[in-house]
Amino acid sequence: RPGGAGGAAMEPERECRVLSIQSHVVRGYVGNKAATFPLQVLGFEVDTVNSVQFSNHTGYAHWKGQVLNSDELHELYEGLKLNKVNHYDYVLTGYTRDTSFLAMVVDIVQELKQQNSNLVYVCDPVMGDKWNGEGSMYVPKDLLPVYRDKVVPVADIITPNQFEAELLTGRKIYSEKDALEVMDMLHAMGPETVVITSSDLQAPLGNDYLIALGSHRKTKADGTRMTQRIRMESPKVDAVFVGTGDLFAAMLLAWTHKHPNNLKVACEKTVSAMQHVLQRTIKSAKAQAGEGNKPNSAQLELRMVQSKKDIENPEIIVKATVL
């Protein structure tokens, strides 16, 4: 349609392209299936490499499928390179089980950063989580040194949970002060934006809330460092969802792109959209399961398509506190 309001042509936004290297499932929403739709809805071109192709996520009773190895990843990247289309603004990665695959991702990110020094690498260092206060890794232990020594130093934005932040820094978090110090340690390793996506810290609003913390460190032209730190409290939703971390990282990528120097707004939009999606999902899952029944994995798949409007333009229902 030529011309917008008042006949002025809309200034086209420069194409922004994301290379997303994550799992693929035929049915449901995790990995690339959880990241691609929201990024496309928010105006990004998304090129996906599927690190695995499974029938469904591994929380179901059964799953089948194939795993991509590091040589195959390299081959796909070579194909892009031969056609000279290996130009990206963002790289996004999540759950990986294999050290050589992860090392290949690092090689690719470094090469892409040589092509484009402004490339932003968004990494969710998926390694494990806490259940009832006890942390455990659900990837092989030998991934930790690769994340710590190779991946995090080339990352620009990382989204660990509390347990993963503790693993990466070797330091336990018992208080908000500890968490801020751990985020500073993570900044010192490389990333300028760190978001601890969930923690077992006591929320000021009470036990029904989950705390997330964010920190953005920028070095200004004159060499001075500025750090913006925020806390967010979101209502706990009583269910086990899969793919939420992948959706979170994708939306954080999008909203930090749109609000580059305002972590507060980027996180408010990300976390609020998450809440809308989770509330819609749990409501729908409970309706499907029927009164008194616990929803199963299939019923708890994220209601992604149904949440398109919330993803595009989230009503802010979770506010961030600047610390």
Residue partners of 21: CB distance under 8 A and separation at least 6? 48, 49, 51, 73, 91, 92, 93, 105, 108
Element (H, E) at 179: helix 176-189
Shortest CA distance to 36 belongs to which of 305, 228, 274, 288?
A: 305
Residue-wise pLDDT tens digits, 143-200: 999 999 999 999 999 999 999 999 999 999 999 999 999 999 999 999 999 999 999 9
Strand order in the sheet with 17-25: 65-67, 45-54, 17-25, 90-93, 120-123, 157-158, 193-199, 209-219, 225-235, 320-322
pLDDT score, position 1:
42
Catalytic residue set: 246
Cα 233 to Cα 277: distance, rounded to the nearest angstrom: 16
Query: Considering the chain, what is the average pLDDT of its residues?
Result: 94
- Judged by average pLDDT, the poorest of 23-37, 100-114, 130-144 is 130-144
pLDDT score, position 14:
80
Supply the angle between the helices 31-41 and 244-258 in degrees, to the nearest 10.
30
What are the residue boundaries of the structural domains of the chain, listed by start?
16-322
Residue-wise pLDDT tens digits, 215-258: 999 888 888 889 999 999 999 998 999 999 999 999 999 999 99
Residue-wise pLDDT tens digits, 104-117: 999 999 999 999 99
pLDDT score, position 12:
57
pLDDT score, position 265:
98
Q: What backbone torsions phi and psi does residue 321 show, to the nearest 5 degrees? A: -100, 125
Please state, for a pLDDT cut of 70, what percent of the chain lies above it. 96
Question: Residue 214 is encoded by which pair of tokens?
Answer: 């964010």
Question: Residue 34 is encoded by which pair of tokens?
Answer: 């959880």
pLDDT score, position 137:
94
Cα 24 to Cα 257: distance, rounded to the nearest angstrom: 24
What does CATH list as the number for 16-322?
A: 3.40.1190.20
- Judged by average pLDDT, the poorest of 11-15, 81-85, 112-116, 199-203 is 11-15
Question: Residue 89 is encoded by which pair of tokens?
Answer: 């603004």
pLDDT score, position 4:
46
Please state, for a pLDDT cut of 90, what percent of the chain lies above it. 91
Residue-wise pLDDT tens digits, 253-292: 999 999 999 999 999 999 999 999 999 999 999 999 999 9
Are the CB atoms for 107 and 226 separated by under 8 Å?
Answer: no
Left if phi > 0, otherwise alpha if psi is -120 to 50, otherwise beta: which for 221?
alpha
Displacement of CA 144 from its chain's centroid (Å):
18
Supply the angle between the helices 263-289 and 244-258 in degrees, to the nearest 10.
150
pTM of the complete model:
0.94
Q: Name which residue leads in pLDDT, 5 or 64.
A: 64
Q: Give the DSSP letter string of 164-177.
A: HHHHHHT----SHH
pLDDT score, position 11:
56
Shortest CA distance to 106 belongs to which of 76, 73, 139?
A: 73
Confidence of residue 2 (pLDDT cuts 50, 70, 90): very low
